[in-house]
Structure 1
Amino acid sequence: MKYLLSVLIGAISYGVLSTIVVLAYGEGYQLGEVVGTQLLTGCILAWILAWYTKQREQRKAMKDNVISANGGKISPKLTWKHRLLLMLAGTPTAITGLLYYQSLRYIPASLAIILLFQFTWMSVLIQAVSKRQRPNGVMLFTLVLLFGGTILAAGIIEQGGTEYQMIGIVLGLLAAVSYTLFIQVSGRAVSWVHPAYRSAWMITGGLILVFILFPPYFLFNGLLWGQLLLFGFLLGLFGAFIPPVLFAVGVPHIGESMAGILGAAELPVAVLLSSIVLHEHVSMLQWAGVVIVLLGIMFPELYKLKKGTVRRAAT
């Protein structure tokens, strides 16, 4: 149960980000300041965790009397090639944040999170193309659910989409594309390294990219020591630190299928908070669309679990 809760809390943490970003925009902060403080906070927390992990490894090695003759360095031997690969793999998450947070300037948070969740079918498409395999009936049915649920959840039927600026919709979809690439790349880059070290280097890569695109003037003009520090800390904590750590703890024990189901909790949490905190109007028809999207996300994994259960029962 604790591993299930671990992944669930991680997904819920992701769901609060859009609300915090909109509140930060309401205080007059800009995109580069918001994303920059988020990744800076996340980077600091990630390196603290990496340092703590290394200390634990060294203490365990000393206790077990297996310290090597090279000064007790037992952490993975990362070359600069490995570090650069991890930093490069971390850049899509920064790009996703920039695109997603910028879309929140033009469209409601409830719609932005729905657009971001289009990474589900995009991942299916990429896998189908890379493996040169046509999606099976389960995947096609899932895509129909996702597309139909998105139409309802976005309020297109009720409002005709006229209230939304097209640039916001495009940015939201590009964020989904970037997140899809992050999913495809992050799991393969130097996968043998401890998750704490991988996260630290990947977040560092994202931070460097953001600071190149948006020079961190807020570090020197005193802006950081206002409410920006609070927003950045919350975003870094709930976006760049807690979810990766909890997923690293829980996913190996519950499996990727169940993690995918629990990860869908991000969507209703984001929509619910946008309705309660930001007072965005979410109709019953839109909520029905959210439920359909969730079903579309969970259906393939539930199908696999059921199929696996039937096979075990048959044997």
Structure 2
Amino acid sequence: MNMRTILFGWGFLLILMLLFSRVRVGWRHVKQLLLAGIPMISTSILYGYAVEQLPASLAVLLLFQFTWIGVILEAVMQRRFPSKGKLVSLVVLIAGTLLAGGVLEQSSGGWTLSGVIFGLLSAVSFALYIYLSGNIATDVPVLSRTFVMVSSALVLAMIFFTPSILFDGSIVNGLWKYGIPLGLLGIIVPVIFFAIAIPKVGSGLGTILSAAELPAAVIVSVTVLREHVSILQWIGIAVVLVGIAIPQMVSLLSKSHMKPADS
């Protein structure tokens, strides 16, 4: 997530707010949502530092530790031990991530301790973002929630990244052609759908579902960028998808076993 993505996404959200939202958000909720916007951009900043110091495959692997971090975070905050389905899912997801990320096929050279720390911090930040999305100000309408969170992320982005595109004329000189799809696909679609889904499914299961990002990225790299994907990576994608499905499969099986007892 870069400056262009956030800026154009924020602009689209502002238009949507002016057209469809008439709800005033109380200051208490605004403060909570501003807080939730911080890990939205800090994940990108921390991951960017990790990629500068680590092989891309290792940086991705560290970021995807958000799967088990998010489940543990939910368990600690809600004081409830994760279900067996979630625990099995996490083991499968970690194995699938190792394969899909191509980590086992590349050398581990070129990494630094600070890079590993930044990678793990990006995972913690993303897990925190998912948790806050599902547990803060959930009674506020989705557009209003998303707008306040992205506004917070935009302010932080202007602090860490030079907002030169606001003044150098690059937007009117052609940058808008790339900014529009980046804003729609990088902010509007994922953040709004996150805001809708996470309160419904819970942050723990939402974290597991978010692991679908890795198979999606690999598939796009093949279909759009024409990159080579090995057999092990395809196996890893299949394993990740199985890991994502496990909690729902366990839930369906438990419900089917309960039906005869209820009758």
- Provide the rounded CA distance (Å) in 1 between the counterparts of 2:110 and 2:219: 20
* Alignment equivalent of 2:6, drawn from 39, 49, 52: 39
Query: Pairwise mapping of residues 252-263 of structure 1 onto structure 2 (< 5 A)?
Result: 256=201
- Provide the rounded CA distance (Å) in 1 between the counterparts of 2:26 and 2:236: 47
**Matched residue, 2:155:** 208
Q: Which has the larger radius of gyration?
A: 1
TM score, norm. by length of structure 1: 0.69
What percentage of aligned pairs have identical amino acids? 39
Structure 1 residues without counterparts, runs of 5 or longer: 1-33, 55-74
3-state SS of paired residue (1:187)? helix
Which amino acid in the other structure matches residue 185 of structure 1?
A: L
Residue 288 to residue 100, structure 1, CA distance change in 2 (3 Å): same
Q: What is the deviation of 1:150?
A: 2.3
Residue 38 to residue 202, structure 1, CA distance change in 2 (3 Å): same
Q: What is the deviation of 1:222?
A: 2.3
**Matched residue, 1:150:** 97
Contact 1:104 1:168 in 2 (8 A): yes
Contact 1:42 1:237 in 2 (8 A): yes
Which amino acid in the other structure matches residue 42 of structure 1?
A: G
1:267 and 2:234 are equivalent in the alignment: no
Compare relative contact order (CA 8 Å, sep 6+) and give the higher one, 1 or 2. 1
Query: Pairwise mapping of residues 16-55 of structure 1 onto structure 2 (< 5 A)?
Result: 35-54=2-21
Structure 2 residues without counterparts, runs of 5 or longer: none
TM score, norm. by length of structure 2: 0.81
Deviations 1:115-156 (A, max 9, x none): 433322111122333355554543432232122222222333
Residue 169 to residue 305, structure 1, CA distance change in 2 (3 Å): farther
Q: What is the deviation of 1:92?
A: 0.9
Contact 1:86 1:198 in 2 (8 A): yes
- Provide the rounded CA distance (Å) in 1 between the counterparts of 2:184 and 2:58: 23
Query: Pairwise mapping of residues 136-215 of structure 1 onto structure 2 (< 5 A)?
Result: 136-162=83-109, 170-215=117-162
Q: What is the deviation of 1:226?
A: 4.3
How many residues are matched? 260
**Matched residue, 1:121:** 68
Residue 137 to residue 193, structure 1, CA distance change in 2 (3 Å): closer
Contact 1:155 1:161 in 2 (8 A): no
Q: What is the deviation of 1:209?
A: 0.9
